[in-house]
Structure 1
């Protein structure tokens, strides 16, 4: 009897011990499974968060407002026969020294459609993305307002010339009388086989009113655009002052311009045109009234920039 009781006790406690051990390992296994799940979920959450930060861009409402003008994107929309090639020469010489690249754009019409304006802007921005460094461009075209196309505007720069000096620099017979006639008719001015280019449309823009002779609206629009988009507009009659203003106002692109000018270009002076009859010159000035008002305004602005 005692033996039987002992055997039963051993079996009972053995079974009980087995059950306890089984339950212990079962609980331990469940705890380890939970811990492993927590680690995996945490890793996934961290990866998802990191990926979200890389892939999701801020909405327009969340972004900080960009500057309207890009200080590392220069555009010389040069006026023909006014010394724009001097500036191109400087930009080409200084690009390696100042760590930017200058791009000469294809020739084309000065007046371009809205579609063509958009294409010009898109090609410039594509080049900016591909180069990934500051760029300067030059192209003879009337002012294009990049902000109308929801793009950041380049920093514009240009140079102009005394309107009559620009005319008389071309030795074409009968040019003065041709100019007088076409300005009165308010259309494109053909001097011989060439078009006489006014200064104002290059700063006024693509609006048809910008091309009207002696237009007060065009004059005021040109002035507004200069004040907003052109840190410097030089004059060919005073290259020293022009280049000093460029280096002072736009050092990123024109640092070292004064030295290059003094060493290589100071002996190159603008050619003055043929002597003109004073009476005819006064008449031309009266016909070119807004052109001269713009020219004198640019000259005064440039002088003030140097004296500050």
Structure 2
């Protein structure tokens, strides 16, 4: 006979072989389906690895935000831990500095006042070198905010690989001069009992201008330009056009931010958004603690229009005003890129960028 029935032993063997073949076929088909699905995902740009990285990034950003709110963010020392505020006198610098002193313990940074002998605005080249070395090597005082009435110091000039962050405030030149004129006669509400060097002189600024006295000489306005220009002798040469251009260049390339006294609240808001290590919580503190007008000059009188017209004829007023208006233009551009609240103050809109199209692609495992 051509056909014989299989015995029970052979039947079980054949059944096992058939079952194995069915299993292998099913497994292979499943793998092909998975391969097609992943290929389609790759072709459509929906990469599993990218989605995973995006989720991890969002989670990390959220974690940073929560840590910042709780003031538990831990940082390693870096060159950005050095902030220098070379304060121009009579620009509301005391108000800003006192906010920093109030926040330093909470935010975990140090504040140090640079006191130069004789209250001069420039250092010898040897003292500049010492200052650069001290600031960059004093690890125990990092993060550190250094402030003082001193001209811009170029750290790179001294071979330092660390370049601190510079900030400053400017004020309308004539307003600053008038404030200083009355300050040295009548003092201010910050230290009302301190006798100033012109104490007892009751001549008004208008009278001073009419009599062409030295204290109201327009050349006394030459201060904001040299503060941003630096320590070169040309910077302190009254009316030097190169000094004005150098001050502008430094404002653009060496200063993180230069604000104006008339917009002090916005300046604080931008600092908090940009430098949270130092200024986290500054806006709320600035509002609640009434630091906006911490130091007011006593008995300051507004000048007459005749006095204003006379001062504005000066080349120095025009040059200092040019720098001031240049600073405003830059600061306004910074503000335009931020949000604006109902109270009119600028605020940080949060991270407005993300990462995508990441290469090389992470291998997809089956």
The normalised TM-score by structure 2 is: 0.57
Alignment of 1:260 with 2:269, yes or no, is no
* Distance in 1 of aligned mates of 2:98 and 2:222: 22
Of 320, 323, 343, the residue aligned with 1:294 is 323
Residue in 2 that maps onto 1:33: none
> Structure 1 stretches of 5 or more lacking a match?
1-68, 190-195
Helix, strand or coil at the partner of 1:82: coil
Helix, strand or coil at the partner of 2:152: coil
Assess if the C-alpha contact under 8 Å between 2:208 and 2:216 holds in 1: no
Aligned positions of 1:46-195 closer than 5 A: 70-108=79-117, 109-127=120-138, 129-131=139-141, 133-151=142-160, 152-169=162-179, 170-171=181-182, 173=203, 174-176=207-209, 177-178=212-213, 182-183=217-218, 189=220
Residue in 2 that maps onto 1:8: none
* Distance in 2 of aligned mates of 1:237 and 1:216: 26
> How far is the alpha carbon of 1:266 from its aligned partner?
5.9
Residue in 2 that maps onto 1:307: 336
Helix, strand or coil at the partner of 1:286: coil
* Distance in 1 of aligned mates of 2:215 and 2:107: 45
* Residues 293 and 180 of structure 1, relative CA distance in 2, 3 Å threshold: farther
* Residues 301 and 269 of structure 1, relative CA distance in 2, 3 Å threshold: farther
Assess if the C-alpha contact under 8 Å between 2:264 and 2:292 holds in 1: no
Alignment of 1:279 with 2:331, yes or no, is no
Residue in 2 that maps onto 1:57: none
Residue in 2 that maps onto 1:203: 228
Helix, strand or coil at the partner of 2:115: coil
Q: How many residues align?
A: 228
**Which has the larger share of helix?**
1
* Distance in 1 of aligned mates of 2:178 and 2:235: 23
* Residues 126 and 168 of structure 1, relative CA distance in 2, 3 Å threshold: same
- What's the RMSD between the two structures over aligned residues? 2.4
The normalised TM-score by structure 1 is: 0.67
* Distance in 2 of aligned mates of 1:138 and 1:92: 11
* Residues 255 and 216 of structure 1, relative CA distance in 2, 3 Å threshold: same
